[in-house]
């Protein structure tokens, strides 16, 4: 009573209760829509496989998953898609496109998406935000994206790195971004040659209307900032170190910096700072997806592991 199946070719094993639908195969339920070139379905065990040109749409979470091979296991409540796999979190004209080697979707008892996880060479694109990492988890109930293993997030002229990055989304807009351990934000000031830099253990970034409102750096805060006058002429380079730091933004540009405890800093002419970069500075714009099609690009950031010196005893 709640589903419709359509195909133009196929077969049915009456003893094993197994179906195979071919040629424009489609399965439609109240909240989901699945289509593929071929769909194989084991009714007794509630398992299915789909091949080529796969589309899986969940109207409750407004999520569309695409790929060329998929498996569905209702008893375990999961679906996985691979081979050109893409998850699209639909939001009018500003949808989020996520690509990875493999996508997993966990379903609840009502067969609605609980979370989507992406594994290996993850790239995503939205008009106002792009990113990459080795693995990613999107939880539907609270709209949180957690990124692991060399995560990178770009927004406007900013690049963010950390051991773990979490994005908090509400009403389809980003509200907060947490950089956990070894956090580093870089802002392109002048044609990818001069950069504002913020570094610390953990960072918490807060947005209003998809623009940065302020950043709070918790522990071991460091900052290099290019200071300009009202005519946009360079005054000098500010270098600061403190236990904690708050940076306020106005129209995506730094407006004020407040330092807390163990403060050290100076403002110097550019000529006195021939190498104005914090330790571990790196600029990775060539890995940034420039459009939704770039999520399939082969050039992917994977940092080299730091070699640790071994201690030898005589």
Residues 6+ apart with CB under 8 A from 43: 17, 18, 19
Which 3-state string (H, E, C) describes 34-61?
Answer: EEEEEEEEECCCCEEEEEEEEEEEECCC
- Using CA atoms, how far apart are residues 239 and 106, in angstroms rounded to an integer? 47
Strands 129-139 and 158-161: unpaired
Radius of gyration of the chain (CA): 24
Q: How many CA atoms, within 13 angstroms, populate the side-chain half-sphere of residue 125? A: 14
Predicted TM-score of the model (pTM) = 0.84
| Residue 304: partners with Cβ closer than 8 Å, 6 or more residues away | none
List per-residue pLDDT tens for the chain, 314 residues long.
Answer: 678 889 999 999 999 999 999 999 998 888 888 899 999 999 888 888 999 999 988 887 788 889 999 998 888 878 889 988 999 988 777 888 999 999 998 887 777 778 889 999 999 999 888 999 999 998 888 889 999 999 999 988 889 999 999 999 887 778 999 999 999 999 998 888 889 999 999 999 998 887 889 999 998 999 998 888 888 888 889 898 999 999 888 877 778 888 898 888 888 888 888 889 999 999 999 999 999 999 999 888 887 655 544 554 54
Integer Cα distance of 117 and 139 in angstroms: 9
Q: What is the largest CA-CA distance in the chain?
A: 83
Task: Classify the C-alpha dihedral 69-295-130-66 as positive or negative.
Answer: negative
Q: d(Cα 47, Cα 43) in Å, to the nearest integer?
A: 7
Encoding tokens for residue 313? 């005893």
Half-sphere exposure of 86 (CA within 13 A, CB side): 18
160, β-bridge pairs = 153, 185
d(CA 14, CA 114): 34
User: In residues, how long is the chain?
Assistant: 314
């Amino acid at each position: 009573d709640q589903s419709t199946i359509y195909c133009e070719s196929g077969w049915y094993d009456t003893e094993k209760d197994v179906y195979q639908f071919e040629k424009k195969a489609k399965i439609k339920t109240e909240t989901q829509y699945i289509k593929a070139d071929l769909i194989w379905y084991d009714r007794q065990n509630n398992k299915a496989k789909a091949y080529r040109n796969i589309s899986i749409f969940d109207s409750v979470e407004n999520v569309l998953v695409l790929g060329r091979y998929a498996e569905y296991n209702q008893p375990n409540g999961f679906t996985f898609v691979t081979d050109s796999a893409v998850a699209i979190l639909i939001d009018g004209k500003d949808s989020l496109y996520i690509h990875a080697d493999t996508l997993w979707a966990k379903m609840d008892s009502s067969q609605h998406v609980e979370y989507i996880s992406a594994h290996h060479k993850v790239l995503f694109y939205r008009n106002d935000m792009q990113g990459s990492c080795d693995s990613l988890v999107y939880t539907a109930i609270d709209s949180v994206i957690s990124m692991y293993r060399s995560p990178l997030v770009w927004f406007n002229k900013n690049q963010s790195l950390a051991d773990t990055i979490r994005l908090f989304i509400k009403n389809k807009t980003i509200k907060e971004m947490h950089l956990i351990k070894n956090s580093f934000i870089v802002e392109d000031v002048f044609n990818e040659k001069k950069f504002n830099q913020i570094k610390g253990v953990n960072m918490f970034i807060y947005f209003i209307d998809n623009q940065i409102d302020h950043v709070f750096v918790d522990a071991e805060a460091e900052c290099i900032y290019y200071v300009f006058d009202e005519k946009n002429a360079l005054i000098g380079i500010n270098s600061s170190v403190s236990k904690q730091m708050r940076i306020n933004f106005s129209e995506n540009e730094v407006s004020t910096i407040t330092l807390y405890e163990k403060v050290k800093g100076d403002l110097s002419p550019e000529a006195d700072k021939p190498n104005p970069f914090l330790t571990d500075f790196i600029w990775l714009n060539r890995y940034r997806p420039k459009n939704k099609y770039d999520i399939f690009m082969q050039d992917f950031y994977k940092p080299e592991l730091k070699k640790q010196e071994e201690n030898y005893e005589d």
